[in-house]
Amino acid sequence: MKKLLITGAAGALGRAMRPRLAGLAETLRFSDIGAMEPAGPNEECIRCDLGDAAAVHDLVAGCDGIIHLGGVSVEDKFSKILHANLLGLYNLYEAARAHGQPRILFASSNHTVGFYRQDEHIDATAPMRPDGLYGVSKCFGEHLARMYFEKFGQETALVRIGSCLEKPSNHRMLSSWMSYNDFKLLIECVFRAPMLGCPVVWGVSNNDSRWWDNSHAAYLGWKPQDNAEIYRAELDAALGKPDPKAALHVYQGGNFVNDPIFEED
Amino acid sequence: MKKLLITGAAGALGRAMRPRLAGLAETLRFSDIGAMEPAGPNEECIRCDLGDAAAVHDLVAGCDGIIHLGGVSVEDKFSKILHANLLGLYNLYEAARAHGQPRILFASSNHTVGFYRQDEHIDATAPMRPDGLYGVSKCFGEHLARMYFEKFGQETALVRIGSCLEKPSNHRMLSSWMSYNDFKLLIECVFRAPMLGCPVVWGVSNNDSRWWDNSHAAYLGWKPQDNAEIYRAELDAALGKPDPKAALHVYQGGNFVNDPIFEED
Amino acid sequence: MKKLLITGAAGALGRAMRPRLAGLAETLRFSDIGAMEPAGPNEECIRCDLGDAAAVHDLVAGCDGIIHLGGVSVEDKFSKILHANLLGLYNLYEAARAHGQPRILFASSNHTVGFYRQDEHIDATAPMRPDGLYGVSKCFGEHLARMYFEKFGQETALVRIGSCLEKPSNHRMLSSWMSYNDFKLLIECVFRAPMLGCPVVWGVSNNDSRWWDNSHAAYLGWKPQDNAEIYRAELDAALGKPDPKAALHVYQGGNFVNDPIFEED
Amino acid sequence: MKKLLITGAAGALGRAMRPRLAGLAETLRFSDIGAMEPAGPNEECIRCDLGDAAAVHDLVAGCDGIIHLGGVSVEDKFSKILHANLLGLYNLYEAARAHGQPRILFASSNHTVGFYRQDEHIDATAPMRPDGLYGVSKCFGEHLARMYFEKFGQETALVRIGSCLEKPSNHRMLSSWMSYNDFKLLIECVFRAPMLGCPVVWGVSNNDSRWWDNSHAAYLGWKPQDNAEIYRAELDAALGKPDPKAALHVYQGGNFVNDPIFEED
Amino acid sequence: MKKLLITGAAGALGRAMRPRLAGLAETLRFSDIGAMEPAGPNEECIRCDLGDAAAVHDLVAGCDGIIHLGGVSVEDKFSKILHANLLGLYNLYEAARAHGQPRILFASSNHTVGFYRQDEHIDATAPMRPDGLYGVSKCFGEHLARMYFEKFGQETALVRIGSCLEKPSNHRMLSSWMSYNDFKLLIECVFRAPMLGCPVVWGVSNNDSRWWDNSHAAYLGWKPQDNAEIYRAELDAALGKPDPKAALHVYQGGNFVNDPIFEED
Amino acid sequence: MKKLLITGAAGALGRAMRPRLAGLAETLRFSDIGAMEPAGPNEECIRCDLGDAAAVHDLVAGCDGIIHLGGVSVEDKFSKILHANLLGLYNLYEAARAHGQPRILFASSNHTVGFYRQDEHIDATAPMRPDGLYGVSKCFGEHLARMYFEKFGQETALVRIGSCLEKPSNHRMLSSWMSYNDFKLLIECVFRAPMLGCPVVWGVSNNDSRWWDNSHAAYLGWKPQDNAEIYRAELDAALGKPDPKAALHVYQGGNFVNDPIFEED
């Protein structure tokens, strides 16, 4: 690729992935509403509010690939979600449509299906069951992307990220964890696939205890290498025996199912 | 019911249904952003912008049932859809949550699945395939409703209305038409069911050529009585032989699949 | 048929069906552990404890059809269920095997699936979810019958009776009711079918609000004629608005899900 | 339609349908390898061997619809099936491709699925299980039609005819019978549908005991009116109690499953 | 765990597993109706007839986990199966309910599905097809466990053991074999899972030729390590070419499908 | 095996496999319509036109296994396909029936499903969607084989070969490639399986990007060892970035979907 745009670059996931993306494109264009580390060689850094259509239009110009990590990434007030995740995503897709439809990797979320129980095994055809407003906004995003695909041919990978962290920090993540390296491998697969289409991909490592079935997306050739299982003993020692009745261990969305609706100011 | 709220009362469907709803509740509260016919006996009329949270809060107070026909009902600028169908729906559900969770009938749409072809037969588990921004907003609405159901127990009937008109006006509607009387019968079923849950219901009459399968919702006891078939000869005479390649006759969403993204001012 | 055996003839359902079965066979042999009305023309009445293998062996001799209504038909102590529904059923199938394998209609029950919710629509492939020891005994019965079918060719109709009464007596039965006449029609279909096999059949009338799908058994040609819907107004008047949170209106098995395990003496 | 071609016009089904098709098109062109009744008003009769590509090419010229009943219609020597049903069908589709792709109704057969048992309920997605060389030739035909549809847009209704006779002549046909009038209604639906696609349609009346599910093709608007059930008493009287072990009553294909491979001369 | 109860400890499987379970709990309580090896350190041995409710009540007291291998484990007289597998299991679940619902691993069996053919691949949703009275008793056990789960929250792993032996002893076991070590790993997974629920788990090693799909239970994190394939050459040499028509090689239940009903004394 | 027949031995695949099959049987009988390499030790070479029934009859005599690679293997004139793939296959099955029904491995093809897109993941139950006359002939072959299985017990493995070559030569083959060695392993599994039945097997290596699911055929114990992924860099270097709109990268059948119908002479 000539130029790859990464939104949400100042967020936790964006910062973690930034050094791992070098080499994916001649230029990496990082963007966030907040402050980012200064641009290094072959990097650009552009601050941008996703709710600002004109700014997003300019941001996308010249890019032939987009990794969209931007927007609100946890439960929050609806006004904020509306601005960043609903309006912001629309702005992004309109900008992409105006600029030749670069392929998009959209960071969707396991919170689109958070109300499934952890003893349920689901694939990409399972009806969505979002666990909060954030999850609903990701459902919206997946459907917006699908509409742009069917109507205009815009390709998107709808990556339902589980828990993308350095390592699992509780027992739920023994199932939901995706390592940074496996995410990197997935990104490579998404942008190298001859035809992408608009698939849901479960963003999860090769964990022994995973809940999700990616076999429909085998054509991408993604083979995650890591397995959260190696952290089990460490978690057992640190956290003790998990409470089988706690939402954290009952629902795929974990504690999100107990989040309230956040009050507006 | 004591008081039933009907939003979107000044729209075409709202106006058509208004006289048919008498007797469903002691008081009918009609609402719209636009002007309505004056209130008759046992009626109230309240103008309200769905995007105004406080106004919606007041509107819902005292109601033990809601028929939500309000919002943008065709393809339009995203800013308008965002205001009425995304923010507006959130406001409605928050108001319902604040006021004892009256049962809701949400007017969803066949445009949530508009990209299926007319020779496909689908049921409520078919993945959504919206045909425009309007359809995407209805997908959002269905997921928001489901989240409020799973999280708070709010019951909603997600009625994917086909073509609710006096009678079919083109060949596509021989499949998608729902008569006003069948809609009335459905409304009665939704509000009388001992337990509603949060089902998708295809809003379609008993048409010989229907595409949609409602058997999963048989527990509601809805038996639509009308059949668009009786209008076929009339349509044949008026419109001639339908073009098999036209979007109107290829896609379940008809011409909506060809609608452009409307430009903002 | 020459001789048709009906067990459980002194039970409520047995008594109701007895006059309706005249003409199905040259002789009707009624049986129960308790006292029955005296035998009329073309009738025999034989008292028999299903747990007594020798007695059951004699009971089945000479019969070319069996309607097995006998055994415990509500939640009860396990010792009683064990005797009548587990041992008793084994005795019946052994007797049938010894006597030429007369076709059997086994009165199974909706309580094999009582934990499904009333807004779920299921067919015969849905995994069993019994709601008590009685329901578990009917699961046992269905599997015993299937084993005798696959191993020995014994044909059985596994009729999961909903609520077979004169008329519905609560709102749940608007969905689960089977009229006596529809049961009679089903019995005729079961014994006249050229090949029966070992199908599950949902024993339910043509109710608007039914939960169960019999389309897999269409080959039997059963068309139930009655519809519980005609009793709705009467029930509404008598019982008022049903409580949406009551087990009676939430679960397909109704109040059975709340039955305790009955203590042995 | 201007001109409708009906092949196989001298066969039993062709002769029965001929008078019922008047009015479907301005001209009806009947064809067969054998002798036909002379042409009446608005009729043409053309003898044609389907294995003769040039003759078939001419036969199709000028037609805007085809009902293809021609070819071998029972188990026969492979050489005859090869000529009429494999080569003949290829010739027909090539002729249609050369002449503007008139819509085709292809008389497929229940013998594509003849090895299913009569207590199995199947829909159009059930894998084919042909019961002889004739059935295999109809599988070939369905796949040939599908390929022409996907590759060239040629529309075909793949009508799996059950037993299309004046009335049922054995107990199997209580399930498989299609009345002449219901076939006529289906033909009308196939040629009037705005978009046909390439659906499988089970050619069966509204029999109480039918095995096949046409709900996927509801969009055609076909509502068969007849029910073989009315002939049951007559068949019972004439034929006595059916043998439950006979292939006629075990398999959907009936006695065809016992047909040998016919020896070539 | 503090104390783990293992029933059936004097049986072949119980004896094989006994040394492998050390370390799973502070105390291992072994039980059987027959004589066991004397208790070693951290072990208890208690003789108990599962059909004796009071004895089972005492047996379960103080345990926080149960591995239920007890009962009849092959085809036998119904009276014996009734006593040990039906009454005995009820006694066990009642005892567990009285003592805080310790998690249970129930040794179910492949004979719940023994009539599937070996060229069929099934998962946990496949309808049961038991191959004898023993298999029927295991179906009963699975449904009893499910009822206690849905009604009272009792968790059970329903482990359908294939062939748990030192090594495969015939060609069928190349598919059905579970090594002792893989069973031990499964036991660990069952008792460590934060939430168990009530899943079916196919008790089979990672055999190249396995018939069963455990992907629905991936959340347990069980990764069997052994593969029966390594014994193929040895079996080929010892047994020669297997007879493709023998029940042993046709049915998943192998020779059990040919077992007769055992006569009572 | 005593004698294994391999048809199509002079074709590309036949020539590649010939040296790899030594040891599978005491004698290998190679056949083709064209010239073959001379027979080596334990080999026979017999020229044979598959369309010649008598010659095929003799060819099969004495064989206890058949690998049928013969016939037309690419898009061609229908007359040639008719002769070799339709008539030729019938001749082969009749010869097998006359000679004790030796087990057959039939080289079917991915072109039976060529119209699926490359972002679709399918298993053996997916309805066939052939991409040309060649594909249709392979559909015919699979159904012919199934009929001989259900009617006469003839076992066949229906191997839908992807791209069986030395190594992948374009990006599509990163998904569809089967190595020669993996084909050899499959052949061994097919002929050693105690019971084969008549399964579809996707002939594809363990490629990261495969489209097809073989889990239903796990009972054969085939574990392909190779992975096309190792050739990706080489293909990227040689061919550059693949065109996402080219049929080669859109359809599972690749360029075959664009092949015309070949004109007869």
Please report, for the domain that includes residue C228, its CATH number.
3.40.50.720
Least Cα separation, residue B162 to chain A (angstroms): 19
Ranges of beta strands (E only) in chain E are 3-7, 27-32, 43-47, 65-68, 103-109, 156-161, 163-164, 177-178, 200-203
The HSE-up count of residue B26 (CA atoms within 13 Å, CB side) is 6
The HSE-up count of residue A109 (CA atoms within 13 Å, CB side) is 30
Contacts of E250 in chain F (CB under 8 A): 195
* Digit-coded pLDDT (tens) for C205-223: 999 999 999 999 999 999 9
Q: Which residue range is the domain that position F248 belongs to?
A: 3-258
> Which subunits sit against B, judged by 3+ Cβ pairs under 8 A?
A, C, D
Contact between chains at C121 and B221 (C-beta distance less than 8 A): no
Do the domain assignments include residue E264? no
How many angstroms separate the CA atoms of B45 and B32, rounded?
A: 8
Q: Is the pLDDT of residue D81 over 90?
A: yes
Ranges of beta strands (E only) in chain C are 3-7, 27-32, 43-47, 65-68, 103-109, 156-161, 163-164, 177-178, 200-203
Angle at C32 between CA C26 and CA C33, to 5 degrees: 155
User: Are F108 and F159 contacting, i.e. CB atoms less than 8 angstroms apart?
Assistant: yes
User: Are E219 and A249 contacting, i.e. CB atoms less than 8 angstroms apart?
Assistant: no
Contacts of B127 in chain A (CB under 8 A): 125
How many angstroms separate the CA atoms of F106 and F265, rounded?
A: 30
Q: Is the pLDDT of residue C44 over 90?
A: yes
How many angstroms separate the CA atoms of F111 and A117, rounded?
A: 40
- Is residue B248 within a helix (H) or strand (E), and if so which, with residue range? helix B247-250
Nearest alpha-carbon partner for E134 in E164, E112, E107, E113:
E112
Do the domain assignments include residue B264? no
Q: Percentage of chain C surpassing pLDDT 90?
A: 99
Contact between chains at C121 and B223 (C-beta distance less than 8 A): no
Indicate the number of domains in chain E. Answer: 1
pLDDT of residue B265: 83
Q: Is F182 on the interface with E (CB under 8 A)?
A: no
Q: Is the pLDDT of residue C265 over 90?
A: no
User: Are E133 and E261 contacting, i.e. CB atoms less than 8 angstroms apart?
Assistant: yes
Q: Is F123 on the interface with A (CB under 8 A)?
A: no
Contact between chains at B218 and C208 (C-beta distance less than 8 A): yes
pLDDT of residue B160: 98
The HSE-up count of residue A187 (CA atoms within 13 Å, CB side) is 27
ipTM over 0.90: yes
pLDDT of residue A175: 98
Residue the block writes with tokens 């979002």 = A130
User: Are C124 and C216 contacting, i.e. CB atoms less than 8 angstroms apart?
Assistant: yes
Burial annotation A180-213 (CB, 10 A radius, 16+ → b, else e)? bebbebbbbbbbbbbbbbbbbbbbbbbbbbbbbb
Amino acid A40 reads G
Do the domain assignments include residue B265? no
- Other C-beta atoms closer than 10 Å to the C-beta of B50 total 27
User: Are F13 and F71 contacting, i.e. CB atoms less than 8 angstroms apart?
Assistant: no
User: Are D242 and D248 contacting, i.e. CB atoms less than 8 angstroms apart?
Assistant: yes
Residue A65 structure tokens: 């690939």
Nearest alpha-carbon partner for E132 in C152, A132, B19:
C152
* Digit-coded pLDDT (tens) for D176-229: 999 999 999 999 999 999 999 999 999 999 999 999 999 999 999 999 999 999
Do the domain assignments include residue D263? no
Nearest alpha-carbon partner for B1 in B104, B154, B108:
B104
Report, as ranges of residue numbers, the positions in chain F whose pLDDT lies below 50: none
User: Are E102 and E96 contacting, i.e. CB atoms less than 8 angstroms apart?
Assistant: yes
Least Cα separation, residue B215 to chain C (angstroms): 7
Contacts of C140 in chain E (CB under 8 A): 86, 136, 139-140, 143
Q: Percentage of chain B surpassing pLDDT 90?
A: 99
Nearest alpha-carbon partner for B132 in B265, B253, B13, B264:
B253
* Digit-coded pLDDT (tens) for B20-58: 999 999 999 999 999 999 999 999 999 999 999 999 999
Counting CB pairs under 8 A, whether chains C and A reach 3 or more, is no
Counting CB pairs under 8 A, whether chains E and A reach 3 or more, is yes
Least Cα separation, residue B60 to chain A (angstroms): 18
Count of residues in chain C: 265
* Digit-coded pLDDT (tens) for B239-257: 999 999 999 999 999 999 9
Counting CB pairs under 8 A, whether chains D and B reach 3 or more, is yes
Q: Is F128 on the interface with D (CB under 8 A)?
A: yes
In the predicted model, what is the mean pLDDT of chain E?
A: 97
Alpha-carbon F118 to chain mean position: 20
Question: A with B: how many residue pairs have Cβ under 8 Å apart?
Answer: 81
Nearest alpha-carbon partner for B48 in B77, B16, B7, B101:
B7
pLDDT band at E63 (very low <50, low <70, confident <90, very high): very high
Task: Give catalytic status of residue D231 as yes or no.
Answer: no
pLDDT of residue F160: 98
**Average pLDDT over every residue of E119-147:** 98
Do the domain assignments include residue B215? yes
Do the domain assignments include residue E265? no
For residue D213, give the chain C residue with the closest CA.
Answer: C215
User: Are C3 and C63 contacting, i.e. CB atoms less than 8 angstroms apart?
Assistant: yes
- Other C-beta atoms closer than 10 Å to the C-beta of A128 total 24
Q: Is C105 on the interface with E (CB under 8 A)?
A: no
* Digit-coded pLDDT (tens) for A33-92: 999 999 999 999 999 999 999 999 999 999 999 999 999 999 999 999 999 999 999 999
In the 8-state DSSP scheme, what is residue B194?
S
pLDDT of residue F181: 98
Q: Is the pLDDT of residue D265 over 90?
A: no
**Average pLDDT over every residue of E251-264:** 96
Residue A241: partners with Cβ closer than 8 Å, 6 or more residues away:
none
> Residues D134, D180, D231, D251: which is the catalytic one?
D134
In the 8-state DSSP scheme, what is residue F117?
B
